[in-house]
Structure formats: C-alpha cells, structure tokens
Amino acid sequence: MSKARRSTIEVQGTAITILSQLDEDYISLTDMAKKFGDDSLIYSWMRNRNTLEYIGIWERIHNPDFKGGEFETFKKQAGLNSFHLTPRKWIEATAAIGFQSRAGRHGGGTYAHKDLAFEFGSWLSPEFKLYLIKEFQRLKNEENDRLKLGWNLQRTLAKINYRIHTDAIRETLIPPTLTRQRTSLVYANEADLLNVALFGQTAKEWREAHPDTEGNIRDYAPLEQLVVLTNLESLNSVLIRQGLPQPERLRKLNEIAISQMRTLLANNNIKGLK
C-alpha cells in the first residue's frame, strides 16, 4: 500500500481523517461512525442490499481486477439475517479498491473512497453528509491554493532570475555596437540554451509541436522544472561572466538539470505540495 498524505477535517465537532494517495482521497468511516456509535454501524451499512449494489457497481466502474462472481454471491445473500459483511472480508473476497482496512492505534480503522464515504454519510445522517462534503471541499480548495501559491512563487523567482540572467548577457556577450534587433536575438539564443538544457528542446520546437496551445514551454512546466529553471538561470549568469563558451555551458547546465531533477523527483517534501 503506497504512502498516503494524512489530513484532518472537523465535521459537527468530530475529527475526520482523510488519506490522499495517487490522486485519490479516502475518508475514515471509523471516525465518521464515532459520532453516532461505533464500527458496528459500518457493518450494518454494508449488509444493506442497496449499499452492496452501490459499492459493487462502483468497483466495476473503477476496478478492472474486481471479482464480480464473488460480488454476485454476496448480493444473493444480502437481506438474510445470517448475512454479515465487513470491509476486510469484502476486500479479500472481491479484490476491492474502494475500501482500505488499516491497522494501528493512530489512524487505523476502515477508510473508503470519498464516493463511498459520502454514501455512508447519507446513511448516517443527510445533514452530516452535507457538512462532510462542505468541509472536504474546503480542504481541497486550501490544498489547491497552496499549490497555486507555490507555482506562482516559482514563476516569480524565475522572472527575477531571468533579469539577473539578461544582465549578465548584456554586460558580457553584447557589444555596444549591436542593433536592438541583434541584441534580442542574443537574449533569445541564451533563453533557448536553458530550454534545451532543461526541456531538451527550443521554444520554437515546442511551439511547432503544440500549434494549438497558448503560451510557451515554461508556462506548462511542473513545479520541479520551475525550481530547476531558477537555479539554471543563476548558474548560467555565473558561467557567462566566467567566459565559458556556449557549448560548454550547455553541457554543464544539462548535467546540473538532470542531477537536480532526479533529486527533486525523489523528494517527499516536493511531492507533498502536489
């Protein structure tokens, strides 16, 4: 089971744990049930025929490995007094992915994909479900705002470093006698040096490959690449002042870009921003 990012929301005075992994959110049914009783409420909900049909259909839509034969067996038994179903039994019998059963004193218990957790909330109390959805959406909005802030911060840093970069170009590479048109060509050439070092292509090559896309290659860069871009701009300005020829600078910058990207992609703190 992959490592999940843990968050907590409060719904009508009850702390509800949310686990986010692989772009999916799982909500603690155990925490939800505490407001109304205990885990026996989860088992009562799951043995309900309507619930069983719902979670079975959800699995068929989202889970290619779902064992439909076992699901049909459970469905035939639903409604009988002897029928008893737990999340763990459901997972083991059908290879379900909509539920997770986690051990541990802190954060242990039964979790369900948000689609299923909201259904459980309806079964517990329609009012509780509405507040649950409201608080869950507030959490997601806050996470998106933090992501945008981080992305915009890197774009701002990139612009600041770009000014440092262009100053180094103007002071070192551009003779005073160059025309304005020639000067702009030098700037563009150095900008593409960074593009090739980081993205493996020039701005023109990217535009030709994306004729219907607005903006430029840097507008669509993920956070990791924007971090590296700010570093490359600063490093290139130093290399320019040291008098290194462009081919050698390109080689050095490409090596640095590869090294830094590997480090960032393996960094859990960067992953947590997503």
Range with the lowest mean pLDDT among 13-17, 51-55, 212-216, 228-232?
Answer: 212-216
Strands of 99-102's sheet in order across: 5-11, 14-21, 24-28, 109-113, 99-102
Confidence band of 124 (pLDDT split at 50, 70, 90): very high
- Per-residue model confidence (pLDDT) at position 175: 47
Judge whether 136 lies within some domain: no
Q: What is the DSSP string of 24-41?
A: EEEEEHHHHHHTTS-THH
Listed range (88-97, 118-127, 148-157) with the worst mean pLDDT: 148-157
Residue 60 lies in a domain: yes
Of 66, 90, 124, the residue at which a domain comes to its end is 124
* Residue scoring higher pLDDT (127 or 272): 127
**Is residue 174 located within the same domain as residue 225?**
yes
Is 266 among the domain residues?
A: yes
Residue 260 lies inside a defined structural domain of this protein: yes
Clarify whether residues 11 and 111 are in a common domain: yes
CB 109 within 8 A of CB 33: no
| pLDDT computed for residue 21 by the predictor | 82
Domain identity same for 175 and 114: no
Residue finishing a domain among 124, 158, 175: 124
Query: Quick one: 77 and 154 in the same domain?
Result: no
The residue that leads in pLDDT, 170 or 124, is 124
Between 145 and 214, whose confidence is greater? 214
Please check whether residue 100 is in contact with residue 86, taking contact to mean a CB–CB distance below 8 angstroms: no
The answer as to whether 204 is a domain residue is yes
The verdict on residue 176 lying in a domain is yes
pLDDT digits 0-9 by tens, 189-212: 888 888 888 888 888 889 999 887
Number of domains in the chain: 2
Is the pTM of the predicted complex or chain greater than 0.75?
Answer: no
Q: Is residue 138 part of a domain?
A: no
Look at residue 267 in the predicted model and tell me its pLDDT. 59
Q: What are phi and psi of 23, to 5 degrees?
A: 65, 20
Asked if 151 and 226 sit in the same domain, the reply is yes
The enclosing H or E element of 49 equals helix 49-62
> Measured between alpha carbons, how far is residue 157 from residues 100, 147, 212, 231, 253 in Å?
41, 15, 28, 10, 18
Indicate whether 99 and 150 sit together in one domain.
no
Q: Roughly how many angstroms between the first and final C-alpha of the chain, as a whole number? A: 19
Indicate if the pLDDT at residue 53 is higher than 90: yes
pLDDT band at 29 (very low <50, low <70, confident <90, very high): very high
pLDDT above 80 for 274: no
Residue 182 predicted with pLDDT over 60: no
154 shares a domain with 115:
no
Q: Residues 103, 178: one domain?
A: no
- Asked whether the beta carbons of 263 and 216 are under 8 A apart, the reply is no
Strand, helix or coil for residue 106: coil
Question: What pLDDT, on a 0 to 100 scale, did the predictor assign at position 117?
Answer: 95
Structural domain boundaries enclosing 201: 144-272
Mean pLDDT for all residues in the chain: 83
Mark whether 158 and 260 lie in a shared domain.
yes
Same domain, 117 and 162: no
pLDDT value at position 173? 52
Q: How many other CB atoms sit within 10 Å of the CB of residue 186?
A: 16
Q: What is the pLDDT of residues 87-121, one digit of tens each?
A: 999 999 999 999 998 886 666 899 999 999 999 99
Look at residues 196, 165, 206 and name the one whose alpha carbon lies nearest to residue 258: 196
Claim to verify: residue 157 and residue 264 sit in the same structural domain: yes
For helices 126-172 and 180-199, angle between their N-to-C axes, nearest 10 degrees: 130
Q: Among 90, 124, 158, give the residue marking a domain's end.
A: 124
How much is the average pLDDT of 20-30? 89
Residue 10, classed as helix, strand or coil, is strand
Do 243 and 199 share a structural domain?
yes
Q: Does some domain include residue 135?
A: no
